[in-house]
Amino acid sequence: MALADQRCIPCTGGIPALKGEALRPLRAETPDWTVVDEHHLARTFPFPDFKTALDFVNRVGSVAEEQGHHPDILLGWGKAVITIWTHKVDGLTESDFVLAAKIDRLRN
């Protein structure tokens, strides 16, 4: 099943963050995201103006609430910068990539 069709699974901690080869297949499904230091995902979404960026951020917020997984969002004129990681493991889990794929669908 495609990542964007899955649900984020709440993390209660106690599992290791994904590293190395475990990230490869997940990265392949979210190629526009940057994996930063094997710790978090980041992507900048460009927009023609503030209002369009704000509308996108509001849609991201709705998906985040629905999934119970909340990214960091920086909103500026003509851009939205989104950063995702799982705080309970201080790194990446599959749910981070699921959320990234869902956000990609909002943009396409």
Whether the predicted pLDDT of 12 surpasses 80: no
For residue 10, what pLDDT band results from cuts at 50, 70 and 90?
confident
Name the nearest CA neighbour of 67 among 11, 13, 20.
Answer: 11
Q: Is residue 53 part of a domain?
A: yes
Q: Is residue 31 part of a domain?
A: no
Instruction: Calculate mean pLDDT across residues 20-47.
Output: 97
Q: Is residue 1 part of a domain?
A: no
Q: Where are the alpha helices (DSSP H) in 68-93?
A: none
Identify the domain containing residue 65 by its residue range: 38-108
According to the model, what pLDDT value does residue 108 have? 66
> What confidence tens digit (pLDDT) does each residue in 53-102 have?
999 999 999 999 999 999 999 999 999 999 999 999 999 999 999 999 99
Domain harbouring 62, CATH code: 3.30.1360.20
Domain tally for the chain?
Answer: 1
Whole-number Å distance between alpha carbons of 42 and 23: 14
Q: Is residue 21 part of a domain?
A: no
Q: Using the 8-state DSSP alphabet, how is residue 88 labeled?
A: G
Counting Cβ atoms within 10 Å, is residue 9 exposed (0-12), middle (13-18) or buried (19+)? middle
Q: Is residue 77 part of a domain?
A: yes
Whole-number Å distance between alpha carbons of 42 and 36: 7
